Structure formats: structure tokens, C-alpha cells
Amino acid sequence: MTESFELPFGGDDSGRVELFKSYNRFASYFEDATRMKVVTYCDSPKFILELFDRVETLEYLEVVVGDIDDYRERLIDKPELADRLEQLKRDGKLVIYLCENKEVHSKVYLIEYGPSSDVSRREAESDTPDSSTGDETANQQTLGTVESAVEEESKDSSEEQLSEESEETELSPVREATAIIGSPNLSSNAWTRQANAGAVFETSTATELWSDLENFYEEHREYNKNGPFLDDLTERIANTDDDREEVLTLYTEGKVKTRDEVGQLHGRLDERVEAEADKVDLVLGDDIDLSEDVEEAVEERAASMDDVSQGEEAKNGEESVAELDPGDSGDTRINLSLVGHSDEAIETLAKMTDFDASLSGDSLTATPRAVQQYKRDVFEVPTMRVSRIESDEQNATPNNVEFGDHLTFHADGKVYQIGQPLPDDRDRVASALQGIQDYFETVDKYGNCNDPDAVKAHMAEALLWMMWAPFANRTAAFYSQYGIDLDKALPNLYVYGESDAGKGTFAEFALSLISGGRVKQPVDADEIGKREIRGMRSANTAFPVVVDDITKDTVNRLDTFRNYWGNWTSEASYPLFAFISNDKRPDEWFRNRAKILHFDVNFDTSYKGEAEVNRLIDQENPLFLWFTHELLTRDLELTDDDDALRVAREVMIDIYEYANEPVPDWFPRRPADEEHDSGRDRWYDLLQREDVSTEDRGDTLRVTFPEEMSTETYTYMRDPPTVARVEKRGRDLLIKSPKEFVGWLGTPPAGVDLPDTEAKTDTQEEISEAPNDDGESGFLGRVRGLFS
């Protein structure tokens, strides 16, 4: 029985064909390896790390992976694995090449050993016995040996040639080497059910054979077109101020940008609903305002009744209106083909049969109301999204989607169109604005707080966010053209305050305003987890998801938001989230992706106050209809700041001007979380304390807390913006970006005197006299002077 046999070679090279009955036998050639270049079809990132752990001498590994399946998928939800691979790559120890467009089934192994490696010794110690052992079965058969004399170097070789060869040898030391070409994959998977064979060549790195083998390997590497794997991750880490851990988590959650299957089906379903159901403009009052196409149909039907008496005509005319009234569109049925879709996707839509829908074979039949009930039941929010305009361009792509001038809102078995120009009656606009102000002024009537204007500003900022959130996908399409990080440019909302701060009441008021009173209750926090967050991306809605009474710890665990927009395309609609909590600020990674607002107020328990707020919640207010039209008819543009609500502020200020009403002093003309920051005031109070020591080290600022305040350091650490880079070390806080921190402190509150800068060192004087971004000389230095 022959398990291996030698190949005829000349010179010092030797080779054989070998049957590998076990992975251990194959892997024995990796022992003592210092460098490896490999072409393999099957492989895993985890196995590569195991190889480095097992072969302690391994200094460099280069792998060409022939499987065209997305290699990055194998890192999903494995940030620790990606971390180690990227670090090995960064240290120059690992390079992985992918074959993006062609499957490569070759298996090639070029293995170099260190100077101390002894190939013959390793063979003697291997589990394959030699023919000289006397075993009955010979495991190796020599076919023949062709001996050739090694030519002596010519004595008249020039000294220059010898010098070049010597230099080359010094740069690339000659190593013992083994090459294997055959069937084994690098990974140990399936070896318990397989046997593999390969040609094994034992040589050195100085031979012509080795040079040919390296060229053979390089031919395989040519199938890689996009450069080394993880180059994009290395670039992200180098070009961001985010923590490495945060970047890795985001990277390993992201997938290829393709719209998910269930999301596609929901999108097609909503398009069918909008095509079949009558559209009606949402008006807040007793009148039904039919859209133009419905009005024309009513007129045509009425004109065809010439043979009917006038009285009967009137009666039939009323029936025609009722027949075309979207309120009766419940009998309209839509069909959706499910041919070619996965069982999992079909099973998801099968939940619709709990309502007025049926699933037969590969076809779903439902009414618009059934679709709406299903989506409200599964996702707890209705369908609302910016209308899209179909492009006539044959080569249009999802990134070329054009957005319309209104929102579509699915409710009551109808498809509402939201968005109306400001009316000629300016008093009506003023009345709507007053309705909003009446709500905010409950702070003055029933609230207990230190700064009513600051509270109203934060409430108004939260309402601006609620009114802006349904348009976030339009903004995402604009930003994505410039490669802007959508997860940070499109912030979620986090509102915190005491239990009687009116947070839940605010949620009802805001939801009622943007839905015309059709949605008032927020989502319960017990219903929200990572799975639900991911699922919402398939809902095809931009209606904001407001989650009430959630804990900070729960939010911190929702790391899906690290890369929430990673799979988004402009034909999809993703909702933003608003979290209502009694807890203070969540972790830094979430704060980087959210607007944090503080309702620093406590409302009296009063039946009168409760009744007034309920009246304001139930009151129909058309402000959002006009806001929508004004916002969608304005072009988006890049700005010099990161104020996501800039356009929303401008729209509201313009509406005030249109109504000839003064803009309230408390209205946030710039972000309320910057204009009214309780954390900033808290820091100024801290810096005035005698038991707190501070130090200006030039590139850092240090604050040392007394023992009795040691538990409060976390609160102060979370107050400044993340760009200030505040770190906790024992009872110290180190501020690693002083300029950003001092800029955040800004103008001190009343009662805080800034020190003079005369006694400062030359370095500190230079800092203090340098003009800030507003061109003001010396002010930042005086603020910095608070650090002795």
C-alpha cells in the first residue's frame, strides 16, 4: 500500500506525492515555520488566529482566499476577532487577499523555516514511518533519482557580481523551505470525513524551483482586485477620533449595502396600497378634502347622470361621493406576488392573515386597512414616509431617488398626503403657533424649576426634532453623496428628567401633532431590544419611534445604533428613535449619535393642569402640515456646523414671520443643548470650589476631586461634549482636548468672575491671547485661567 512516493528531481531538491490521512499530519509541515504564503479555498478568520497561536515561530502569513463569498460576513458580531486580525495586519504579520470575482480552488502552500529548522529531523519525528523501519507495508517508494553535478562558480566572476549576490543574500536570507500543492484546505474543517493528497517539495528559498513556485503563487494573487482585506477598517481607525472599540463594533455589525428582503416586500406592499387606495389630503377639521384625482372622478360621475331627476341626481351624487370617499376604501383589495421569496419572508407577511388578508400559494391578498393594522401590530408605529418621484431615466439607481413635496401617511384605511402651503389667512397661522406656545407655557403655570426659559427651550428643541425626524431619510440621501457618517449626522433623541418632568405628556403632545391626533401613545420600553431595532429597518416607515420609561442601561445595550444606517439605501425608509428616561446621560458611544435634552422641571400634581394639557393634546393643530410643505420645498445644503435641526429652526422662524408674530425669547435659535446646558453651569460651580484642585498642563487639564465627591466624577465626566475627551483616573478627570473643553464652557453664568491673565506663563499667555473661532482675543484664555 502506497501512501507516498518520491518524485525524481535533480540537485538538492527533493519531492514526493503524499496522502494526508489526518490534518495533524498535514499541519506537521507548519511546525517551526517563520513565513507562509497560502492559496486556499476554505478558510476562516478564527482559524488564522489559531494558527498564529499554535505556531509560535510564525512571523508572517499571507493568504489568498479563493471562496468568493463575502469574507467580512464571517466577522459579523465578532469585534474581538476583527480587532486581533487588524492588529496583526497593522504589525506587518498578516495579509489576506480575497478573490472577489472568480472562485479559486487551488491549494498552494509555500512554507519557510528559520535558520534552526531541521527538515530531516521533523520528518523522522513525523507519524509516517520510513521504509527502513521494517514494517510490512512500505509507506514510501523511490521511483528514481536523477543525480546531477552542481556546477562550480566560475573563478573569473567579477567581484561586483559577488558583492551583489552577497548583498542580496544579506537582505533575503536563505531558508529551508517546503512547498505543498494539492487538495488540502488551510482550515481543519471536514478533515474528519476527508483524506487529502498533495505534492510536497523540499528545497530552499535560493533555488530556481522556489522562484518558480513563488511566481506560481503570485499568479493566484492576481485574482485579487481590491487590495488587502481589512484595509478599509485600518483606514477608518486612522481617520476617526472614535475609540478603536467603537469603530470595530460598528465595522463588524455592518453588511453589504443591499435592502433586506422583508423591507423590500413592505416597500412594494405600501406602493400597492398607495396605488390602489384613494389619496386624501390630511386636514384637521370636520371637512373631508379629497385630492384632485378623486375630485375629478366625482365630477365625471355626476356629469353622467343626465337621465336622472334632479332630486335623484342629488341622491346619487351623494352616493358617488361616499363610494369614492377613502373612508370606504376598505373593500379595495391589493395583490402581492411572493414568487421567489424565502420562506422566512413569506412567514413574516403571513401574520397579516390575522387581519383582513389571505395567503394563497405565492400570492398575498389584503385590504389597505389590513396592511395598516398588521404594521401597527408588528411595529407599533404607522407608515409615514417622504413621497418619491419615479424617475424616467433608464439607468436610474436607488441613489438617484427623487423625493417629493409631501409625506404619505397610512392610517384609518386611507393614504393621507401631508403637506400644505401656508394659508392666506395669517391669523390662522398665528392661532396654530399660539397653540404650541400654550403647551410650553404650562412650565410657567405648573412647573417648578430654576430656569423656565431653559426648560421651554429644551422642550421646543425636542418638538423640533419630532417634526424633523420623518424627513431624516431625505437628508440621509443627500449626505450619503458626500460619504458623511449617517449614524452621527442623523441623531436619535434622548430626553431625561425626573419622574414628574412632563416627559410622557410631551411624547403624547408631539405624537398627536405630527399624526393629526391618530397616534398618541409611545412604545413601551419592555417591547424594545436589539432584535426590534433591527426589525424596524424593515418596516418601511419614517414615523419616529418614541420609547417611554426606558433605562439608561437598556439604551447602552442597544449597540445596533452604532451602525443603524449601515445597510440603508435611498429607496428605504428608516425611523429615528426618541427615548424618554428618568436616567441621566447614557454612554459616550450613544451620546455621539443622539441629541441629549434635559427636562429640568417638576410639575405640580394638579387636576387643572392635567385637564389643560389634555385639551392641548386633543386640539387639532395644522402647524405640521405647513411645516412639512415648507421644509420639503427647500433645498438641502452642507453647512459649517453639525446642527441637524438647522433647516427645521429656519422653517419655524419663517412661519413666525409669516404670521407677523414675534419669535419667543426662549425659542432655540441654536441647539438648546448647547445654549442651555446645565452641565456647563455645574462645571463652573465645580471650578469655584476650594476643595477641588485644578492644573493646566498645557496639552491637558487636570481636575482633582475631594474624597467625598469621588462618586460624582462620572456625572462631571459625562457633562462635556465627547470632543473634549474627558477621562477618569481615580479621583482625577483629565481633559485631553483643552481647546474644545474651554470652548464648550463659553460665557460663564452670572456671579462667576474670570481671572486676569497677567500672571500666566509665556505659554499660557500665548494661549489666552490667541483669538478664538469668533475672533475674540483673550476670552478663552481667561476661561482657561480657572485652571490654576
Give the separation between CA 609 and CA 436, rounded to whole angstroms: 16
CATH number 3.40.50.720 is the correct assignment for the domain at 4-145+166-253: no
Determine the residue type at 361.
G
Of 15, 13, 22, 17, the closest CA to residue 3 belongs to 17
Check pLDDT > 70 for residue 688.
yes
Secondary structure of residue 111 in the 3-state scheme: strand
Taking the whole predicted model, whether its pTM rises above 0.75 is answered as: no
In which residue are the cell numbers 494539492 written?
182
- CA 191, 192, 196, 201 dihedral sign is positive
Strands (E), 235-331: 279-281
**Is the C-alpha dihedral spanning 501, 503, 505, 509 positive or negative?**
positive
CA 200 – CA 183 distance, rounded (Å): 12
pLDDT digits (tens, 9 = 90+) for 403-418: 999 999 999 989 999 9
Alpha helices (H) along 158-230: 159-171, 208-221
Sequence-ordered alpha helix ranges (H) in 5-157: 23-27, 45-54, 79-90, 119-125
Per-residue pLDDT at 88 = 94
Which cell numbers hold the place of 667? 425659542
From CA 530, how far away is CA 403, in angstroms rounded?
Answer: 30
For residue range 155-209, list pLDDT tens digits in order: 343 344 444 444 444 456 788 999 999 998 887 766 766 788 999 999 999 998 9
What does the mean pLDDT of the chain come to?
80
Residues 218-264 have pLDDT tens digits of: 999 998 888 899 998 898 888 877 788 878 877 776 443 445 788 98
- Confidence class for position 5, pLDDT limits 50, 70, 90: low
For 212, residues 6+ apart whose C-beta sits below 8 A from its C-beta are none
Q: What is the pLDDT of residue 784?
A: 65
Instruction: Compute the average pLDDT of residues 74-94.
Output: 89
User: Where in the chain are the domains?
Assistant: 4-145+166-253, 261-382, 414-673, 677-784
Q: How far apart are CA 744 and CA 784, in angstroms?
A: 11
pLDDT score recorded for residue 770: 41
Q: How many Cα neighbours within 13 Å face the side chain of 633?
A: 11
Q: DSSP 3-state helix, strand, coil percentages of the chain (rounded to 5)?
A: 45, 15, 40
Cell of 149: 553535478
Instruction: Indicate the angle between helix axes 623-632 and 426-440, nearest 10 degrees.
Output: 110
What is the chain's alpha carbon radius of gyration, rounded to the nearest angstrom? 36
